[in-house]
Protein backbone atom coordinates (compact mmCIF):
# COMPACT_ATOMS: atom_id res chain seq x y z
CA UNK A 1 0.00 0.00 0.00
CA UNK A 2 1.17 3.53 -0.69
CA UNK A 3 2.34 5.84 2.08
CA UNK A 4 -0.24 8.38 1.01
CA UNK A 5 -3.03 5.77 1.39
CA UNK A 6 -1.76 4.85 4.86
CA UNK A 7 -2.02 8.53 5.76
CA UNK A 8 -5.46 8.97 4.19
CA UNK A 9 -6.88 5.92 5.95
CA UNK A 10 -5.26 6.55 9.34
CA UNK A 11 -7.83 6.67 12.13
CA UNK A 12 -5.19 7.47 14.72
CA UNK A 13 -1.69 8.93 14.61
CA UNK A 14 0.83 6.54 12.98
CA UNK A 15 4.54 6.11 13.42
CA UNK A 16 7.19 5.17 10.90
CA UNK A 17 10.92 4.99 11.09
CA UNK A 18 13.98 4.68 8.93
CA UNK A 19 16.84 2.25 9.08
CA UNK A 20 20.26 2.15 7.43
CA UNK A 21 21.46 -0.89 5.48
CA UNK A 22 24.11 -2.73 7.55
CA UNK A 23 27.77 -2.00 7.02
CA UNK A 24 29.42 -4.39 4.59
CA UNK A 25 30.57 -7.43 6.55
CA UNK A 26 27.41 -7.45 8.66
CA UNK A 27 24.37 -9.59 8.19
CA UNK A 28 20.70 -8.82 7.45
CA UNK A 29 20.08 -10.34 10.89
CA UNK A 30 21.33 -6.99 12.27
CA UNK A 31 18.42 -5.31 10.51
CA UNK A 32 15.93 -7.86 11.79
CA UNK A 33 17.25 -7.32 15.35
CA UNK A 34 16.52 -3.60 14.94
CA UNK A 35 13.08 -4.23 13.49
CA UNK A 36 11.80 -7.15 15.58
CA UNK A 37 11.08 -5.19 18.77
CA UNK A 38 9.44 -2.30 16.87
CA UNK A 39 7.06 -4.59 14.98
CA UNK A 40 4.98 -4.86 18.17
CA UNK A 41 3.64 -1.35 17.37
CA UNK A 42 2.58 -2.14 13.78
CA UNK A 43 4.46 0.49 11.78
CA UNK A 44 2.61 1.01 8.47
CA UNK A 45 5.83 1.62 6.54
CA UNK A 46 9.59 1.57 7.06
CA UNK A 47 12.14 3.64 5.17
CA UNK A 48 15.53 2.29 4.13
CA UNK A 49 18.22 4.88 3.41
CA UNK A 50 20.52 4.83 0.38
CA UNK A 51 24.27 5.35 0.73
CA UNK A 52 26.22 6.25 -2.37
CA UNK A 53 29.72 5.06 -3.14
CA UNK A 54 32.57 7.08 -1.69
CA UNK A 55 36.12 7.58 -2.80
CA UNK A 56 39.05 7.07 -0.46
CA UNK A 57 42.73 7.69 -1.06
CA UNK A 58 45.25 5.02 -0.06
CA UNK A 59 48.99 5.68 0.02
CA UNK A 60 50.92 3.14 -2.01
CA UNK A 61 54.46 1.92 -1.17
CA UNK A 62 55.94 4.33 -3.71
CA UNK A 63 54.28 7.25 -1.91
CA UNK A 64 51.71 7.85 -4.62
CA UNK A 65 48.05 8.03 -3.70
CA UNK A 66 45.62 5.55 -5.14
CA UNK A 67 41.95 6.52 -5.46
CA UNK A 68 39.59 3.72 -4.45
CA UNK A 69 35.83 3.53 -4.76
CA UNK A 70 34.10 1.95 -1.78
CA UNK A 71 30.52 1.17 -0.98
CA UNK A 72 30.02 0.82 2.78
CA UNK A 73 26.30 0.19 3.01
CA UNK A 74 24.92 -1.41 -0.15
CA UNK A 75 21.68 -3.36 -0.20
CA UNK A 76 18.85 -0.83 0.11
CA UNK A 77 16.58 -2.56 -2.40
CA UNK A 78 17.33 -6.06 -1.09
CA UNK A 79 16.53 -4.97 2.46
CA UNK A 80 13.24 -3.42 1.34
CA UNK A 81 12.26 -6.68 -0.33
CA UNK A 82 13.30 -8.65 2.78
CA UNK A 83 11.22 -6.37 5.05
CA UNK A 84 8.13 -6.75 2.88
CA UNK A 85 8.64 -10.49 2.69
CA UNK A 86 9.34 -11.13 6.39
CA UNK A 87 6.98 -8.66 8.05
CA UNK A 88 4.39 -7.83 5.36
CA UNK A 89 5.07 -4.14 6.01
CA UNK A 90 5.52 -1.60 3.22
CA UNK A 91 9.14 -0.59 2.68
CA UNK A 92 10.18 2.77 1.26
CA UNK A 93 13.59 2.74 -0.43
CA UNK A 94 15.41 6.05 -0.65
CA UNK A 95 16.64 6.81 -4.14
CA UNK A 96 19.16 9.55 -4.78
CA UNK A 97 20.52 11.56 -7.71
CA UNK A 98 24.17 11.24 -6.60
CA UNK A 99 26.08 8.56 -8.50
CA UNK A 100 23.13 7.69 -10.74
CA UNK A 101 22.52 8.60 -14.35
CA UNK A 102 18.96 8.60 -15.65
CA UNK A 103 19.29 5.14 -17.16
CA UNK A 104 20.53 3.63 -13.89
CA UNK A 105 17.61 5.29 -12.12
CA UNK A 106 15.13 3.88 -14.61
CA UNK A 107 16.59 0.40 -14.21
CA UNK A 108 16.43 0.70 -10.41
CA UNK A 109 12.76 1.71 -10.65
CA UNK A 110 12.05 -1.30 -12.88
CA UNK A 111 13.65 -3.56 -10.24
CA UNK A 112 11.51 -1.98 -7.52
CA UNK A 113 8.39 -2.45 -9.61
CA UNK A 114 9.20 -6.14 -10.17
CA UNK A 115 9.62 -6.56 -6.41
CA UNK A 116 6.20 -5.03 -5.73
CA UNK A 117 7.66 -1.89 -4.14
CA UNK A 118 5.56 1.14 -5.04
CA UNK A 119 6.90 3.75 -2.62
CA UNK A 120 10.08 5.80 -3.01
CA UNK A 121 11.62 8.72 -1.13
CA UNK A 122 13.50 10.81 -3.69
CA UNK A 123 16.55 12.84 -2.70
CA UNK A 124 19.46 14.57 -4.26
CA UNK A 125 22.09 13.15 -1.88
CA UNK A 126 24.99 15.13 -0.43
CA UNK A 127 28.12 16.19 -2.22
CA UNK A 128 31.13 13.93 -1.80
CA UNK A 129 33.73 14.96 0.81
CA UNK A 130 36.17 16.38 -1.71
CA UNK A 131 33.53 18.24 -3.79
CA UNK A 132 32.82 21.92 -3.17
CA UNK A 133 29.26 21.46 -4.28
CA UNK A 134 27.08 18.62 -5.46
CA UNK A 135 28.13 17.22 -8.84
CA UNK A 136 25.59 15.25 -10.82
CA UNK A 137 26.75 12.21 -12.76
CA UNK A 138 26.87 12.71 -16.53
CA UNK A 139 23.28 12.45 -17.76
CA UNK A 140 22.13 12.36 -14.15
CA UNK A 141 20.00 14.75 -12.11
CA UNK A 142 21.25 17.86 -10.35
CA UNK A 143 18.23 18.34 -8.09
CA UNK A 144 15.66 16.07 -6.49
CA UNK A 145 12.86 17.82 -8.42
CA UNK A 146 14.30 16.42 -11.67
CA UNK A 147 14.29 12.93 -10.19
CA UNK A 148 10.64 13.42 -9.18
CA UNK A 149 9.86 14.33 -12.81
CA UNK A 150 11.56 11.18 -14.09
CA UNK A 151 9.55 8.96 -11.73
CA UNK A 152 6.32 10.79 -12.62
CA UNK A 153 7.06 10.23 -16.32
CA UNK A 154 7.58 6.54 -15.69
CA UNK A 155 4.28 6.48 -13.79
CA UNK A 156 2.73 7.73 -17.06
CA UNK A 157 4.44 4.89 -18.95
CA UNK A 158 7.12 7.11 -20.47
CA UNK A 159 10.52 5.40 -20.61
CA UNK A 160 13.68 7.37 -21.36
CA UNK A 161 13.98 5.61 -24.69
CA UNK A 162 10.69 6.27 -26.47
CA UNK A 163 10.98 3.08 -28.53
CA UNK A 164 9.90 1.18 -25.39
CA UNK A 165 6.23 1.48 -24.56
CA UNK A 166 4.13 -0.31 -22.01
CA UNK A 167 2.51 -3.30 -23.58
CA UNK A 168 -0.89 -3.52 -21.93
CA UNK A 169 -3.47 -1.18 -20.61
CA UNK A 170 -2.46 -1.47 -16.97
CA UNK A 171 -0.62 1.04 -14.80
CA UNK A 172 2.82 -0.52 -15.00
CA UNK A 173 4.37 1.98 -12.62
CA UNK A 174 2.52 3.83 -9.93
CA UNK A 175 5.11 5.02 -7.45
CA UNK A 176 4.05 7.09 -4.47
CA UNK A 177 6.69 9.78 -4.10
CA UNK A 178 8.08 11.32 -0.92
CA UNK A 179 10.61 14.17 -0.81
CA UNK A 180 12.66 15.90 1.89
CA UNK A 181 11.82 19.21 3.58
CA UNK A 182 13.90 21.28 6.00
CA UNK A 183 12.12 23.20 8.80
CA UNK A 184 15.39 25.05 9.53
CA UNK A 185 16.30 25.27 5.81
CA UNK A 186 18.68 23.10 3.82
CA UNK A 187 22.32 23.83 4.67
CA UNK A 188 23.16 25.12 1.18
CA UNK A 189 20.15 27.37 0.87
CA UNK A 190 20.65 31.13 1.31
CA UNK A 191 17.40 31.41 3.31
CA UNK A 192 14.23 29.51 4.19
CA UNK A 193 12.09 31.29 1.59
CA UNK A 194 14.44 30.30 -1.21
CA UNK A 195 14.46 26.74 0.09
CA UNK A 196 10.65 26.70 0.16
CA UNK A 197 10.58 28.01 -3.38
CA UNK A 198 12.50 24.91 -4.50
CA UNK A 199 10.51 22.61 -2.22
CA UNK A 200 7.42 23.83 -4.07
CA UNK A 201 9.11 22.80 -7.34
CA UNK A 202 9.40 19.24 -6.02
CA UNK A 203 5.74 19.29 -5.06
CA UNK A 204 4.70 20.73 -8.43
CA UNK A 205 6.79 18.04 -10.14
CA UNK A 206 4.59 15.43 -8.46
CA UNK A 207 5.67 14.68 -4.86
CA UNK A 208 2.89 13.11 -2.78
CA UNK A 209 4.24 13.92 0.67
CA UNK A 210 7.19 15.50 2.49
CA UNK A 211 9.33 14.07 5.31
CA UNK A 212 11.22 16.65 7.33
CA UNK A 213 14.76 16.76 8.49
CA UNK A 214 15.01 16.20 12.25
CA UNK A 215 14.24 19.15 14.54
CA UNK A 216 14.28 19.52 18.31
CA UNK A 217 11.92 22.44 18.72
CA UNK A 218 8.37 21.81 17.52
CA UNK A 219 7.76 25.49 16.79
CA UNK A 220 10.21 25.08 13.87
CA UNK A 221 7.96 22.38 12.44
CA UNK A 222 4.71 24.26 13.05
CA UNK A 223 6.16 27.44 11.44
CA UNK A 224 7.45 25.41 8.51
CA UNK A 225 4.04 23.83 7.90
CA UNK A 226 2.41 27.28 8.06
CA UNK A 227 4.90 28.66 5.54
CA UNK A 228 4.45 25.67 3.24
CA UNK A 229 0.68 26.07 3.30
CA UNK A 230 0.99 29.78 2.53
CA UNK A 231 3.12 28.85 -0.52
CA UNK A 232 0.39 26.52 -1.76
CA UNK A 233 2.09 23.30 -0.61
CA UNK A 234 -0.87 21.23 0.54
CA UNK A 235 0.52 17.67 0.67
CA UNK A 236 1.14 15.91 4.05
CA UNK A 237 4.30 16.97 5.90
CA UNK A 238 5.61 14.18 8.10
CA UNK A 239 7.78 15.42 10.99
CA UNK A 240 11.12 13.67 11.55
CA UNK A 241 12.20 13.10 15.15
CA UNK A 242 15.52 11.87 16.45
CA UNK A 243 16.31 11.31 20.12
CA UNK A 244 19.76 12.57 21.05
CA UNK A 245 21.80 9.69 22.40
CA UNK A 246 25.26 11.12 23.11
CA UNK A 247 26.92 14.39 24.16
CA UNK A 248 28.89 14.38 20.93
CA UNK A 249 25.65 14.86 18.96
CA UNK A 250 25.21 18.34 20.46
CA UNK A 251 27.85 19.42 17.94
CA UNK A 252 27.79 16.75 15.26
CA UNK A 253 24.07 17.05 14.44
CA UNK A 254 24.07 20.85 13.96
CA UNK A 255 27.23 20.77 11.86
CA UNK A 256 26.02 17.92 9.69
CA UNK A 257 22.37 18.85 9.26
CA UNK A 258 22.21 22.61 9.87
CA UNK A 259 19.79 22.58 12.78
CA UNK A 260 19.46 24.15 16.23
CA UNK A 261 19.22 22.39 19.55
CA UNK A 262 17.28 24.36 22.17
CA UNK A 263 19.27 25.69 25.12
CA UNK A 264 17.17 23.84 27.65
CA UNK A 265 18.05 20.50 26.06
CA UNK A 266 21.72 21.45 25.62
CA UNK A 267 22.03 22.41 29.29
CA UNK A 268 20.37 19.21 30.50
CA UNK A 269 22.65 17.06 28.37
CA UNK A 270 25.79 18.97 29.34
CA UNK A 271 24.92 18.46 33.01
CA UNK A 272 24.46 14.69 32.57
CA UNK A 273 27.09 12.65 34.39
CA UNK A 274 27.01 9.53 32.23
CA UNK A 275 25.87 8.12 28.88
CA UNK A 276 22.82 6.45 30.41
CA UNK A 277 21.52 9.79 31.63
CA UNK A 278 22.07 11.43 28.22
CA UNK A 279 20.20 8.56 26.61
CA UNK A 280 17.31 9.01 29.04
CA UNK A 281 17.16 12.79 28.46
CA UNK A 282 17.06 12.22 24.69
CA UNK A 283 14.14 9.81 25.06
CA UNK A 284 12.17 12.13 27.35
CA UNK A 285 12.67 15.08 25.00
CA UNK A 286 11.49 13.06 22.00
CA UNK A 287 8.45 11.81 23.96
CA UNK A 288 7.56 15.40 24.82
CA UNK A 289 7.94 16.46 21.16
CA UNK A 290 5.92 13.48 19.93
CA UNK A 291 3.06 14.08 22.38
CA UNK A 292 2.78 17.69 21.31
CA UNK A 293 2.82 16.77 17.61
CA UNK A 294 0.24 14.05 18.14
CA UNK A 295 -2.02 16.41 20.10
CA UNK A 296 -1.74 18.92 17.27
CA UNK A 297 -3.28 16.31 14.95
CA UNK A 298 -0.13 15.20 13.11
CA UNK A 299 -1.04 11.97 11.31
CA UNK A 300 2.41 10.31 11.11
CA UNK A 301 5.61 10.85 13.06
CA UNK A 302 8.81 9.56 11.49
CA UNK A 303 11.70 8.44 13.73
CA UNK A 304 15.35 8.37 12.80
CA UNK A 305 16.60 5.15 14.43
CA UNK A 306 20.23 5.27 13.24
CA UNK A 307 19.85 1.49 13.68
CA UNK A 308 19.53 1.77 17.47
CA UNK A 309 15.99 0.66 18.30
CA UNK A 310 16.16 0.85 22.14
CA UNK A 311 15.33 4.54 22.45
CA UNK A 312 12.76 4.48 19.63
CA UNK A 313 11.06 1.52 21.35
CA UNK A 314 10.72 3.48 24.59
CA UNK A 315 9.36 6.57 22.80
CA UNK A 316 6.86 4.65 20.71
CA UNK A 317 5.75 2.65 23.76
CA UNK A 318 4.99 5.91 25.56
CA UNK A 319 3.14 7.45 22.61
CA UNK A 320 1.29 4.74 20.68
Residues tagged active-site: 18
Does the protein bind ligand FAD through residue 50 (CB under 6 A)?
A: yes
Region binding ligand FAD by CB under 6 A among candidate stretches 7-15, 47-55, 103-111, 226-234: 47-55
Nearest residue (CB) to ligand FAD, 124 versus 220: 124
Q: Closest separation between CB of residue 311 and ligand FAD, Å?
A: 18
Rounded Cα distance between 186 and 192, Å, is: 8
For ligand FAD, the binding residue among 123, 154, 281, 287 (CB under 6 A) is: 123
Region binding ligand FAD by CB under 6 A among candidate stretches 169-177, 184-192, 244-252, 268-276: 184-192
For the stretch 182-189, contacts whose Cβ atoms lie closer than 8 Å and that sit 24 or more positions apart, written own/partner, are: 182/212, 182/213, 182/224, 182/258, 183/212, 183/213, 183/215, 183/220, 183/221, 183/223, 183/224, 184/213, 184/215, 184/220, 184/258, 184/259, 184/260, 185/258, 186/213, 186/258, 187/257, 187/258, 188/133
For ligand FAD, the binding residue among 36, 53, 188, 204 (CB under 6 A) is: 188
Count of residues near ligand FAD by CB under 6 A: 22
For ligand FAD, the binding residue among 6, 202, 242, 314 (CB under 6 A) is: 202
For ligand FAD, the binding residue among 102, 186, 227, 280 (CB under 6 A) is: 186
Rounded Cα distance between 314 and 292, Å, is: 17
For ligand FAD, the binding residue among 90, 106, 118, 195 (CB under 6 A) is: 195
Rounded Cα distance between 92 and 88, Å, is: 13
Q: Closest separation between CB of residue 142 and ligand FAD, Å?
A: 7
Q: Segment 71-100, which members bind ligand FAD (CB under 6 A)?
A: 94, 96
Does the protein bind ligand FAD through residue 180 (CB under 6 A)?
A: yes
Rounded Cα distance between 32 and 290, Å, is: 25
Does the protein bind ligand FAD through residue 213 (CB under 6 A)?
A: yes
Q: Closest separation between CB of residue 280 and ligand FAD, Å?
A: 26
Residue 24 class from Cβ within 10 Å (0-12 exposed, 13-18 middle, 19+ buried)?
exposed
For ligand FAD, the binding residue among 41, 143, 313, 320 (CB under 6 A) is: 143
Render 42-83 in DSSP notation, one character per residue.
--SEEEE-----EEEEEE-TTS-EEEEEE-SS--HHHHHHHH
Q: Hey, CA dihedral for 213, 39, 84, 76, is it positive or negative?
A: positive
Does the protein bind ligand FAD through residue 15 (CB under 6 A)?
A: no
The residues that touch ligand FAD, with contacts defined as CB under 6 A, are 49-50, 52, 94, 96, 123-126, 143-145, 180, 186, 188-189, 195, 198, 202, 211, 213, 240
Amino acid sequence: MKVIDHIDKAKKSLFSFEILPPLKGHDIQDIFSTLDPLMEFNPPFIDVTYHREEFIYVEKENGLLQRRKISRRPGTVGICAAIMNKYGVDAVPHLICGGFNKQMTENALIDLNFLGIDNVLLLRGDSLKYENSFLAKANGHKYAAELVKQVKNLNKGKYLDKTFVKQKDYPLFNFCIGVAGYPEKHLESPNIDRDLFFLKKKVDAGADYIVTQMFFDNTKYFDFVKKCRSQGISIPIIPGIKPISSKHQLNSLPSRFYLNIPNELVKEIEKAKDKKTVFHIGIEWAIHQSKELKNAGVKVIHYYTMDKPENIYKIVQAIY
